């Protein structure tokens, strides 16, 4: 990628999934245009807007006004904020409210929020009436570049994160970049970890571009839109090639196996660790583990850590406030997240920057030894 000098006000990334194809619109002012964009694509004229207590005061009124102006009657479901909302209890609340609003199959559920709201709302949309239309209006950087794209929905279980859910593609994604200006620095940094992930998977030039341009991505403008569009295009390409994660789509989990284990170890307490921070640490661990297995140079792991640390992300388990459970407990979470087969695990490892691959024969003994070393 080259230096950013100009860009259209709104960029469109198309996800060509035959009859499930949809557009991702990226740029400023999209919440104000949401009603018109939805009405031009969907036949239904009812919507259930699902959001949380943090986002609702900021954007719910504007979204409702946009829907009303387009002739779409909307009902509102406002949930508590936080990872713990991805539960059966709140799933049932959303399903009941969607049915109370008499949302039919051609109508839609709209997720207005971050990844938690998107995952939960998409799951509800996928199972109510055996599937209703679904629109994502992601309000965090992490959701705009990752969780709002690709159709993976779900809730958490006491056994682990995102273990219960369905694939249910959205009909439209509206990534309004104006909303990112209200994010805290910590939230924006956490989302940036997912942006960097796309470079580390298979786009080394993008990662190099980020190393040079990350400050402009943080301050906003053309560079931010370009980074989000590049991330969405990268994910769309993977999703189209492997919609239901039977093979290469697993590459999108780079850093997530370790990261999910760390989230579970902190009981999903956002005061200690949020998802993007877990992914940041997890990506460093994945590169270090790859070096340990003689797959990649230790220099690559150091380069990844240097960049993530420069933007202000945690890169070590010791960066997480408070005590962590022993390595054996972390290993239990990893075994649940990525099933053990004949004593071996599936991990996303790397042969270098932008050279990630699916390794389905990683010895569990090597992982537990590595965790003990990093936990010390």
Same domain, 205 and 233: yes
**Whether 218 and 168 share a structural domain:** no
Instruction: List b or e across 96-114, with b for residues whose CB sees 16 or more CB atoms inside 10 angstroms.
Output: ebbeebebeeebbbbbbbb
pLDDT of residue 160: 81
Residue 293 pLDDT exceeds 70? yes
Residues β-bridged to residue 111:
50, 136
Is 90 annotated in a binding site? The answer is no
Residue 310 lies in a domain: yes
DSSP tag of 251: G
Q: According to the model, what pLDDT value does residue 370 have?
A: 96
73 and 131 assigned to the same domain: yes
Structural contact between residues 300 and 204, judged by C-beta atoms closer than 8 angstroms: no
Q: Where are the beta strands (DSSP E) in 122-243?
A: 133-138, 155-157, 160-164, 172-176
Question: In sequence order, which residues have a C-beta less than 8 Å from that of residue 373 and are 6 or more positions away?
Answer: none
Which of the following is catalytic: 86, 133, 256, 287?
A: 256
Instruction: State whether residue 203 is helix, strand or coil.
Output: coil
Catalytic residue flag (residue 256): yes
Instruction: Identify the domain boundary among 151, 180, 209.
Output: 180
- What residues make up the domain containing 211? 185-375
Q: What's the mean pLDDT in 276-296? A: 97
Assess whether 159 and 233 both reside in one domain.
no
Q: Is 219 one of the annotated binding-site residues?
A: no
13 is in an annotated binding site: no
- Confidence label for 4 from pLDDT (cuts 50, 70 and 90): very low
Q: Which of 86, 249, 287, 338 is catalytic?
A: 249
What is the reported pLDDT for 6?
Answer: 47
Active site residue 307: no
In the predicted structure, residue 210 carries a pLDDT above the cut 50: yes
pLDDT of residue 376: 67
**What does the mean pLDDT of the chain come to?**
93
Query: Which residues neighbour 161 within 8 Å (Cβ) at sequence distance 6 or greater?
Result: 260, 263, 264, 268, 337
Same domain, 291 and 311: yes
Query: Given a cut of 90, is residue 316 above it in pLDDT?
Result: yes
Do 205 and 338 belong together in one domain? yes
Local confidence band at 2 (pLDDT 50, 70, 90 cut-offs): very low
Residue 192 reports pLDDT greater than 80 = yes
117 annotated among ligand-binding-site residues:
yes
pLDDT of 200 strictly over 70: yes
Comparing 29-38, 72-81, 98-107, 159-168, the range with the smallest average pLDDT is: 159-168
Kindly indicate the confidence band of residue 8, based on its pLDDT and cuts at 50, 70 and 90: low
- The confidence score (pLDDT) of residue 337 equals 67
- Based on the domain organization, do 145 and 222 belong to the same domain? no
The answer on 198 and 152 residing in a single domain is no
**Model confidence, pTM:** 0.91
176/189 same-domain check: no
- Over residues 268-297, the mean pLDDT reads 96
> Which residue is catalytic, options 245, 272, 302, 344?
245
Q: What pLDDT score does 333 carry?
A: 86
Last residue of a domain, one of 122, 156, 180: 180
pLDDT in tens, 251-264: 999 999 999 999 99
Check whether 237 is labelled as a binding-site residue.
no
- Bridging pattern class, strands 46-52 and 172-176: unpaired
159 is catalytic: no
Say if residue 246's pLDDT is above 90: no
Rounded mean pLDDT of 302-326?
97
- Picking from 142, 187, 182, the residue whose alpha carbon sits closest to that of residue 56 is 182
Instruction: Mark whether 245 is an active-site residue.
Output: yes
Indicate whether 6 belongs to any domain: no
pLDDT 10s digits, 348-359: 999 999 999 999
Task: Tell which of 158, 180, 202 closes a domain.
Answer: 180
Model confidence over 126-161: pLDDT tens digits?
Answer: 999 999 999 999 999 999 999 999 999 999 998 888
Task: Please tell me whether residues 222 and 324 are part of one structural domain.
Answer: yes
**Domains in the chain: how many in total?**
2
Confidence at residue 341, expressed as pLDDT on a 0 to 100 scale: 61
pLDDT of residue 115: 94
Out of 275, 287, 292, 374, pick the active-site residue.
275
Same domain, yes or no: 160 and 197: no
Is residue 83 within 8 A of residue 49, CB to CB? The reply is no
Give the pLDDT mean for 178-200.
Answer: 96
pLDDT (tens digit per residue) in 22-76: 999 999 999 999 999 999 999 999 999 999 999 999 999 999 999 999 999 999 9
**4 assigned to some structural domain:** no
CATH of the domain at 124: 3.40.50.1970
pLDDT at residue 161, as a whole number = 84
């Amino acid at each position: 990628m080259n230096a950013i000098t100009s860009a259209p006000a709104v960029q469109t990334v198309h996800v060509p999934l035959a009859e499930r194809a949809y557009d991702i619109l990226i740029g400023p002012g999209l919440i104000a245009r949401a009603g018109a964009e939805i009405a031009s694509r969907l036949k239904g004229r009812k919507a259930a807007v699902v959001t949380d207590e943090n986002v609702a005061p900021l954007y719910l009124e504007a979204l409702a006004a946009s829907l009303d102006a387009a002739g779409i009657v909307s009902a509102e479901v406002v949930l508590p904020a936080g990872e713990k909302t991805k539960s059966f209890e709140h799933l049932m609340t959303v399903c009941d409210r969607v049915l109370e609003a008499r949302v039919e199959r051609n109508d839609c559920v709209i997720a207005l929020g971050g990844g938690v709201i998107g995952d939960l709302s998409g799951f509800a949309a996928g199972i109510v009436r055996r599937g209703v239309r679904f629109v994502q209006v992601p309000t965090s950087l992490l959701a705009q570049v990752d969780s709002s794209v690709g159709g993976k929905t779900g809730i958490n279980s006491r056994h682990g994160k995102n273990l219960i859910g369905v694939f249910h593609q959205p009909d439209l994604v509206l990534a309004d970049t104006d909303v990112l200006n209200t994010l805290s620095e910590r939230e924006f940094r956490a989302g940036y970890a997912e942006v960097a992930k796309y470079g580390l998977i298979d786009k080394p030039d993008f990662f190099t571009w980020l190393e040079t341009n990350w400050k402009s991505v943080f301050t906003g403008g053309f560079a931010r839109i370009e980074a989000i569009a590049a991330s969405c295009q990268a994910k769309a390409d993977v999703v189209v090639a492997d919609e239901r994660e039977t093979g290469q789509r697993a590459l999108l989990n780079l850093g997530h196996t370790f990261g999910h284990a760390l989230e579970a170890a902190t009981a999903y307490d956002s005061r200690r660790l949020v998802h993007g921070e877990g992914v940041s640490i997890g990506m460093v661990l994945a590169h270090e583990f790859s070096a340990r297995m003689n797959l990649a140079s230790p220099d690559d792991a150091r380069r990844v850590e240097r960049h993530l640390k420069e933007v202000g992300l945690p890169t070590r388990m010791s960066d997480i406030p408070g005590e962590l459970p022993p390595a054996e407990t972390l290993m239990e979470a990893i075994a649940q997240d990525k099933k053990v087969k004949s004593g071996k695990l599936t991990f996303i490892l790397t042969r270098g920057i932008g050279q990630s691959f699916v390794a389905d024969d990683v010895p569990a003994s090597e992982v537990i030894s590595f965790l003990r070393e990093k936990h010390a």
